[in-house]
Amino acid sequence: MQLIYFILIGLAAGWLAGKVMKSTNPSLLVDLIVGVVGAILGGFLFGLLGLRAVGMIGDLITALVGAMVLIFLLRKLGRNV
């Protein structure tokens, strides 16, 4: 059940990050991948900063920040996301 929750949060975060960062990729699959990888990255970054997410909104914010950082890094590498 947690895997489904993680995927849904990742999908929402990937979609939101795409809107916030003005992504040019319309693919829902890419949004899901960016969101899930972003959720992992966000959890890692928040852990380094000593921050902790609480509840669904906290998980979404963590994943959103991670997805936005991932999109930023991919753009710096020349990837069109």
* pLDDT (0 to 100) of residue 22: 84
Tens digit of pLDDT for each residue in 5-48? 888 898 899 889 888 888 777 777 888 888 889 989 999 999 99
pLDDT at 81: 67
pLDDT band at 69 (very low <50, low <70, confident <90, very high): very high
Q: Residue 1 — pLDDT band, cuts 50, 70, 90?
A: confident
The residue extents of the domains of the chain are 31-76
Model pTM score? 0.86
SS3 of the chain: CHHHHHHHHHHHHHHHHHHHCCCCCCCHHHHHHHHHHHHHHHHHHHHHHCCCCCHHHHHHHHHHHHHHHHHHHHHHCCCCC
